[in-house]
Chains A and B, each alone.
Chain A
Amino acid sequence: MGDPLYAGGIGLTVVLVTLLKVLVTFVLLLVATMFMVWFERKIVADMQHRIGPNRAGPWGLLQTLADGTKLFFKEDLLPDRADRIVFRLAPVLAVVPAFLAFAIVPIGGNFAEGGTVSMFGRETFLQLADPPVGVLFFLAMSGIGVYGVMLAGWSSGSKYPLLGGVRATAQIVSYEAALGLSLASVILVNGTLSTHQIVAEQAGAGFGGIIPNWNLVVTGVVPAIIFLIAGTAELNRPPFDLVEAEQELVGGFNTEYSSIRFALFFLAEFMNTVTMSALVVTLFLGGPSGPVWGPEPVRTWFFPIFWFLLKLVVFLFVFVWFRGTLPRLRYDQLMDLGWKALIPLALGWFLLLGAVRVARNEGWNLVVTFGAITVVVVVAVTLLNLSLRAAQRQRLADAEVNA
């Protein structure tokens, strides 16, 4: 249980190894975020037949660094009507949870052999922290991250940021329920909340030795898709970027922000994108697990990190792809998708998965089990449709009364 680094008490070496890991994670996150900004701009440019950033550094790789540095030299405006304390606090509340959420992601370690690596003679996980409630820690951090957006909108004392902030909060909160429900399916099949163990559970040979033992397959694809959609909405990324819908809200919750405070919001947003991709990889695609070869350092260091980064980049691309392809949803469509489709589907799938697993464990008659499940599903869907129709009728009647 837990990182073996802390098994034998906390000594000087342990503290030093921890600090090293913290520093490396910190730098890695910043670099990954900068890479993501460049990656997104480059890919979107390619999709739109433009060139994209190509001046600073090779292939424009240093463009983000240049932009970030520029923002340090820009005037930091504080609007007249702003709430001074909260206005200054909001970017910090956005960026700190963004940093912390990544702490639970395993980025390496050969999970066929325990998933540990050796650092200065100490065995440790290649992830910053492995609390027993790892995935809930992520949910908690995204819950705290809401405050950054909400308070930024409120404290600006301006019309558009306020609208953007309230919209954003309602959206994030709605999709957090779907996110939590699809997460429940993963917990159900893996029987653990720790991210390290979730990856370890997925490391086996799998079905027929060909299809990997990933949760994507084990939970039956649906929770993974729900998680990806809800995650995109949680990040306020296109096609769910109503928060900063430029045409109607200027820039959304951060309209009044400038200079480095704006940069921190921007950083938090892209860092959250990286974390969300990493989490999809961890929860559904086996994290750093994959085939490994070769002698010791290559086997435990190179390949797992390589697999992890490869999968990470795939999902980063998927997020950019969404942005490049899909038109923005309307607010009612967004709410409908979250509440009327994703939440019932995620809950239903979770219960279905649980019932099937218990039935298999206890050796129940398959025909009876599936018959019962079918009946329950049909009844539930019928009731859902009836209530939706009732709501529609009610609204039409109300509209006539008012007219």
Chain B
Amino acid sequence: MGHYLPIVALAVLAVLFAGLSFLASRLLAPRRPTPQKSAPYESGIIPGKEPPRRFPVRFSLVAMIFIVFDIEVVFLYPWAMVHAELGLFGIVAIAIFSASVFESFLYLLSKGVLEWGPIQRVQRPHLVGAHRTAESTIRRVGLEGRDRPAEQRILVESGIASHAVEPAASAAGGH
């Protein structure tokens, strides 16, 4: 019990510290709340929607799995303390225990519970190639409004714009 006496004393001191800080802040700090100040902070944008009330199951699943692993870790400590006197028997016991832990871990992995990232989709090959250069951003612009034939020719020849777009664009253009 004596071991915890200083801890209790430190806890009391820490709580006092926090309490006195609050008190000092209350005495020293101004208090002029306005509706703008006490609204939820959204980088200056007026919050139009309620904050989210629900969360993905994923997060609570992590908490749930953590309980299981935490309990398992807690069982490892007693073995760590007495492993020398238990010898082979202890090794076998902890090996069976750990195999069970590992098995549930494998189940979690294979079910993709611990996959958080975006799905790695198969890459679309037509987006990768020699024709795709920094200029290919022009693709989005198309040929509309590009009057000069020379410019159109360059774009079409370099594969950035297609012929299908060209007649309409050129019809709207200079002829």
- Please give the residue numbers on chain A whose beta carbons come within 8 Å of chain B beta carbons, in ascending order: 2-3, 5-6, 10, 15, 18-19, 21-23, 25-26, 71-81, 88, 91-92, 95-96, 99-100, 103, 128-132, 136-137, 156-160, 162-163, 166, 169-170, 173-174, 176-177, 180-181, 184-185, 187-188, 191-193, 250, 255-256, 259-261, 263-264, 330-333, 335-336, 339-340, 343-344, 347, 350-351, 354-355, 357-358, 361-362, 380, 383-384, 386-388, 390-392, 394-396, 399
Q: 0/1 per residue, B66-100, Cβ < 8 Å to A?
A: 10011001101101110110111011001100100
B21 x A263 contact (CB < 8 A): yes
Q: In whole Å, how far is B7's beta carbon from the nearest beta carbon of chain A?
A: 5
A357, B25: Cβ atoms under 8 Å?
no
Residue of B nearest to A255 (CB): B41
- Measured between beta carbons, the chain B residues less than 8 angstroms from A185 are 80
B18 & A158 in contact (Cβ 8 Å cutoff): no
- Contact surface of B with A, Cβ cutoff 8 Å: 2-7, 9-11, 13-15, 17-18, 21-22, 24-26, 28-33, 35, 37-43, 47, 51-52, 55, 59, 62-63, 66, 69-70, 73-74, 76-77, 79-81, 83-84, 86-88, 90-91, 94-95, 98, 101-102, 105-107, 109-112, 114-121
**Given known contacts A75-B30, A259-B29, is B41 in contact with A361 (CB within 8 Å)?**
no
Find out whether the CB atom of B59 lies under 8 angstroms from the CB atom of A166.
yes
**CA A388 to CA B106, docked complex, whole Å:** 8
CB distance from B87 to the nearest CB of A (A): 6
A-B contact pairs, 21 of them (CB 8 A): A6-B3, A75-B31, A75-B33, A76-B25, A78-B38, A79-B41, A80-B39, A95-B14, A129-B7, A158-B41, A159-B51, A160-B41, A163-B52, A169-B59, A173-B62, A184-B73, A339-B114, A343-B105, A384-B109, A395-B112, A395-B119
Which of A19, A137, A260 touches B21 (beta carbons < 8 Å)?
A260
Whether A354 and B10, one on each chain, are in contact in the complex, defined by CB atoms closer than 8 angstroms, is no
In the complex, are the beta carbons of A131 and B3 less than 8 A apart?
A: yes
With A187-B80, A384-B109 already in contact, the answer to whether A159 and B94 are too (CB < 8 A) is: no
Bound complex: CA of A365 vs CA of B140, how far in Å? 71
Contact B119 A77 (CB under 8 A): no
Contact (Cβ within 8 A) B29 A96: no
Q: Chain B contacts of A380 at CB under 8 A?
A: 102
Cβ contact of A96, chosen from B18, B21, B39, cutoff 8 A = B18
Q: List residues of chain A with CB within 8 A of the CB of B120.
A: 392, 396
Q: How many angstroms between the C-alpha atoms of A336 and B118 in the bound complex?
A: 12
The 7 A-B pairs at the shortest CB distance, nearest first, are namely A6-B2, A332-B117, A158-B40, A332-B116, A387-B110, A260-B25, A391-B112
Q: How far is the CB of A338 from chain B (nearest CB, A)?
A: 9
Chain B residues in 8 Å Cβ range of A387: 106-107, 109-110
Given contacts A264-B18, A340-B109, A391-B110, contact A77 B38 (CB under 8 A): yes
Give chain B nearest CB distance to A243 CB in angstroms.
Answer: 13
Q: Determine how close the nearest CB of chain B comes to the CB of A295; give it in whole angstroms.
A: 29
In the complex, which of the residues A75, A159, A395 contacts B29, with contact meaning CB atoms closer than 8 Å?
A75
Contact (Cβ within 8 A) A99 B21: no
Is A166's CB under 8 angstroms from B114's CB? Answer: no
Q: Are A158 and B13 in touch, CB under 8 angstroms?
A: no
Note all chain A residues with C-beta closer than 8 A to B101.
347
Contacting A184 at CB < 8 Å: which of B7, B76, B109? B76
Give the nearest-CB partner of A68 in chain B: B21
Chain B hits for A10, CB < 8 A: 2, 5
- Contact call A335/B21, Cβ cutoff below 8 A: no
In the complex, chain B residues whose CB is within 8 Å of the CB of A259: 25, 29
CB of A339, distance to nearest CB on chain B (Å):
5
Given contacts A72-B29, A95-B17, A131-B7, 14 further A-B contacts (CB under 8 A): A15-B5, A26-B17, A72-B25, A75-B32, A129-B7, A136-B77, A157-B51, A158-B51, A169-B59, A177-B70, A332-B115, A343-B69, A347-B101, A395-B112
